[in-house]
Amino acid sequence: MSSDGLLFKCFSMVNEKTKTPVLATMIAGVGTGLLSSLFNLEQLVEMTSIGTLMSYLMVCVCILILRYKNNNIVSQELDNSEVHIIYKWWNASNTGLTNKDSQYVSRVLILVYTFAAVVFCICMMKVNDCEGFWKLLLTIIIGISIAFLIISMLMLCRLPQAVENLSFRVVIKQQAYFIFQTKILLPEI
């Protein structure tokens, strides 16, 4: 990675005899030792689990954004009258190619889905602690967030997808399910 410029060049020095990156191994070992001396094992395992799930979450969101990215040089755009706005958001015209509008709609829908998942998880955590009016209000908010989750997922499935072959494509329902599960499993994030 350091030969590609992702890391500093000093980390690319490889030992002739062992064929391993010396400085990178030493710094990683010292960093790991310092972290393990500062935190107990339970905290380290928790940080590792949260870090792994957060990295998977970021990869899923990035892949979703890539899936709906506009790669067309000549893009077809619809005008912004009220009828065409509905066509854009629901892809009622069944456009097969991505364009600037569908790329924008997909990014907004991904944000709406993520926000609705966060609201759903926060409300689910607090609903049992409340009584009376607040419990009813949280239950209504949970229902609304579920509706937003379902509607945004359906709208996202209707949008045209990029035609380029990516080696890491996953079915969209699995990505959305993972984002939803991450928000439920790690509500403190």
Q: How confident is the model at residue 171 (pLDDT cuts 50, 70, 90)?
A: low
Structure tokens at 108: 């907004």
- If you average pLDDT over each of 24-28, 92-96, 146-150, 179-183, which comes out highest? 146-150
pLDDT at 29 over 50: yes
170-175: long-range pairs with CB below 8 Å, 24+? 170/60, 170/63, 172/64, 172/67, 175/60, 175/63, 175/64
CA dist 183 and 114 (Å) reads 9
pLDDT of residue 157: 84
In the prediction, which pLDDT does 189 show? 46
Residues 105-144 pLDDT 10s: 888 999 999 999 999 989 998 998 989 999 999 999 999 9
What is the average pLDDT across 100-105? 81
pLDDT of residue 188 exceeding 70, the answer is no
Contact 97, 108 (CB under 8 A): no
Q: pLDDT tens digit string along 41-98?
A: 788 788 778 778 788 878 878 878 787 787 765 545 544 555 566 666 666 666 667 7
Average pLDDT over residues 136-157: 93
Q: Residue holding tokens 């944000």?
A: 111
pLDDT band at 31 (very low <50, low <70, confident <90, very high): confident
Residue 189, number of CB atoms within 10 A of its CB: 12
Sole residue written with tokens 């689910």: 124
